[in-house]
Structure 1
C-alpha cells in the first residue's frame, strides 16, 4: 500500500519546490498577495470614511434645517407690531402722552 501512496504525485510539495527553485516567481507571488491584502484594507477604510462622511453630511443638513427654523422663529418674535400687541394686551401698557412725560435734567 505504501507504494500506491508514493506513486501519486505530491502536488503541494511539487508547487513549493518549484517556487523555491524560481525566486522571481516566489517574489512575484508574495507581492501579489501583499498587494491584494493592501487593496482590501484600503477599500475597507475608504468605505468606512464614506459612511462617516454621509453621516456628517446628514447631521449638517439637520442642523441647517434647525437653524433655518430658528431664524424664522426669531423673525416672528421680533416683529415690532407683535411686541406692541403683547405689551398692550398682556401687560396693559400704552404709549405715554405728553402729560405723562417727565424731563430729567442731569448735571
Structure 2
C-alpha cells in the first residue's frame, strides 16, 4: 500500500526540472536572473570596499594636513629674527661688529 502512495505523490524536484527542461526560455531567464543578482552583489561589495578606502584616504589627508600646519607654525617660530639673534649672542657668543672691527676692501 505504501508503494502506491509514493507513486501518487510526484517528486517536486523532478517536476521542477521537467518543467524547466520543457521551456528553454524560462530556464535561460532563470540563469540570467541568478547571474544578474550575483553581479549586483559583487558590485555592491566592490563599491563598499572603495568607500572604505576613500574614508581611510580622507582620514590620512586630514592627519597630514594637521601635521603640515604644525610644521608651518614650528617653522615660523624658529625663523623669528629675535630668536635667532638671541641664540647667536647667548649660545654662539656672537656680537655685532663695531666700526673699528670693520675693514673696507677696494677692488680694482
Same fold, TM-score > 0.5, yes or no: yes
Task: Determine if the alignment matches structure 1 residue 20 to structure 2 residue 21.
Answer: yes
Aligned to 1:41: 42
TM-score, with structure 2 as normaliser: 0.92
Task: Give the 3-state SS of the residue equivalent to 2:104 in structure 1.
Answer: coil
1:1-107 aligned at under 5 Å gives the runs 1-106=2-107
Task: Give the 3-state SS of the residue equivalent to 1:25 in structure 2.
Answer: helix
Task: Give the 3-state SS of the residue equivalent to 1:74 in structure 2.
Answer: helix
User: How far apart are the structure 1 equivalents of 2:107 and 2:32?
Assistant: 90
Aligned length: 107
Q: CA deviation at 1:106?
A: 4.3
Q: CA deviation at 1:23?
A: 1.4
Q: CA deviation at 1:89?
A: 1.4
User: How far apart are the structure 2 equivalents of 1:106 and 1:58?
Assistant: 61
TM-score, with structure 1 as normaliser: 0.92
Task: Give the 3-state SS of the residue equivalent to 1:42 in structure 2.
Answer: helix
Task: Give the 3-state SS of the residue equivalent to 1:35 in structure 2.
Answer: helix
Task: Give the 3-state SS of the residue equivalent to 1:65 in structure 2.
Answer: helix
User: How far apart are the structure 2 equivalents of 1:51 and 1:2?
Assistant: 60
User: How far apart are the structure 1 equivalents of 2:93 and 2:50?
Assistant: 59
Ranges in structure 2 where 5+ consecutive residues have no aligned partner: none
